Amino acid sequence: MSRWTFTSESVTEGHPDKMADQISDAILDAILAEDPRGRVACETLLTTGLAVVAGEITTEAYVDIPKIVRETICGIGYDRESFGFDGNTCGVMTSIDEQSGDIAQGVDTAYERRAGTSGEDDLNAQGAGDQGMMFGYACDETEDLMPLPIWLAHRLARRLAEVRKAGILPYLRPDGKTQVTFDYEDGRPVRLRTVLVSTQHQPGLDAETLIKPDLEEHVIHPLLPADVDTEGYDLYVNPTGTFELGGPHADTGLTGRKIIVDTYGGMARHGGGAFSGKDPTKVDRSAAYAARWVAKHVVAAGAARRCEVQVAYAIGVAHPVSLLVETFGTEAVDPDQIARVVQE
């Protein structure tokens, strides 16, 4: 019997890096709502009292970027000076240029079409917006076909926001992180070993006597999985003692710095490209989503318990330059047959 432990983390909506992701995506969404063919590569930096939005955007639409920035920050919960960052009053700077013409020509007209090899298939008309490799993964550990460690870490992070916004634990503030560790036996999670929750809070509160029991009751216990052993796990809540300073006032936030949180918590490989602020021509995002879709179908069909799909692109080329399907010895049918079906 093989045994190991595995850990994954997540962050709340008020974590500075995740705030930056949400701002970049809010700008992207606003542009695509008016101009579905808009090209967007939008990056956000957040620091004390300041939000900086930069990138390359080509669009027929007009969107009020400073307004979107402020609304997003306030919607997360940083809407007053006493929290250390206020979306109503923070500075907002923008530096936006158009997409490079060198890149645009390859995306607008794919290599296959320029070479006369595309045929009539419209899917061959548009080239990939960049080179790189992307991964999609699925497994049967949860109903969402996600690994259990990242699945639980995400739910804990979301629950922190829910109890804060619903007034159940009104002393919580937006910034926070979660982390969980599971014991595995023969490739299956069998026991919860550790839960770590770090959450920003109003000044003057004690982590051990107030915050920890509140989180156990309202956040952690309601979310513990029923099909693994959850008795006797180690629980850490704000192990530094206090977490009063948070958000961009305490740490600089940048778009694209939580790529493992955004995917599979380290359980699968990652090509290195971030998702947020990128329109669908950026294969860092769209190809990773497509690879996840394929992997989910392989697992949902019962063809394998675990599936990882790698796809790679050349800039300006419509077709992938490579495709790999890995089932880690968990397949129920011939792996070559799975690969053929995916390729087709």
Identify whether 40 is part of a domain: yes
- Contact criterion met (CB below 8 Å) for 228 and 190: yes
Domain containing 66 equals 16-108
> What is 167-190 written as a DSSP string?
TSSTTEEEEEEEEEEEEEETTEEE
For 101, 225, 300, 324, the CA distances from 336, given in Å and listed in that order, are 41, 35, 18, 11
Identify whether 28 is part of a domain: yes
Q: 137 and 280 in one domain?
A: yes
Long-range Cβ pairs for the range 68-73 (8 Å, 24+):
68/23, 68/26, 68/27, 68/30, 69/23, 69/26, 69/27, 69/44, 71/26, 72/19, 72/22, 72/23, 72/26, 73/19, 73/23
Q: 156 and 233 in one domain?
A: yes
Q: Read off the pLDDT of residues 128-151 as tens digits, 9 standing for 90 and up.
A: 999 999 999 999 999 999 999 999
Identify whether 186 is part of a domain: yes
Q: What confidence score (pLDDT) does residue 190 get?
A: 98
Long-range Cβ pairs for the range 240-244 (8 Å, 24+):
240/198, 241/207, 242/201, 242/205, 242/207, 243/175, 243/176, 243/198, 243/199, 243/200, 243/201, 243/207, 244/200, 244/201, 244/202, 244/203
Q: What confidence score (pLDDT) does residue 122 get?
A: 75
Tokens of 239: 């192990």
Q: 262 and 136 in one domain?
A: yes
Boundary of a domain, candidates 216, 249, 282: 249
Boundary of a domain, candidates 232, 249, 266: 249
Q: How many domains does the chain have?
A: 3
- Contact criterion met (CB below 8 Å) for 335 and 327: yes
Boundary of a domain, candidates 222, 249, 276: 249
Q: 171 and 83 in one domain?
A: no
Q: What confidence score (pLDDT) does residue 220 get?
A: 98
Q: What confidence score (pLDDT) does residue 121 get?
A: 75
Q: 278 and 137 in one domain?
A: yes
Q: What confidence score (pLDDT) does residue 156 get?
A: 99
Q: 197 and 172 in one domain?
A: yes
Identify whether 314 is part of a domain: yes
**Around 225, how many Cα atoms within 13 Å sit in the side-chain half-sphere?**
23
Identify whether 225 is part of a domain: yes
- Contact criterion met (CB below 8 Å) for 296 and 141: no
> pTM of the entire structure?
0.96
Low-confidence ranges of the chain (pLDDT < 70): 118
Identify whether 95 is part of a domain: yes
Q: 74 and 41 in one domain?
A: yes
Given CA atoms 166, 171, 174, 176 in this order, what sign does their dihedral have?
negative
Q: 282 and 200 in one domain?
A: no
Q: 301 and 261 in one domain?
A: yes
Identify whether 119 is part of a domain: no
Identify whether 120 is part of a domain: no
> What is 43-70 written as a DSSP string?
EEEEETTEEEEEEEEE-S----HHHHHH
Q: 209 and 168 in one domain?
A: yes
- CATH number for position 29: 3.30.300.10
Q: What confidence score (pLDDT) does residue 116 get?
A: 80
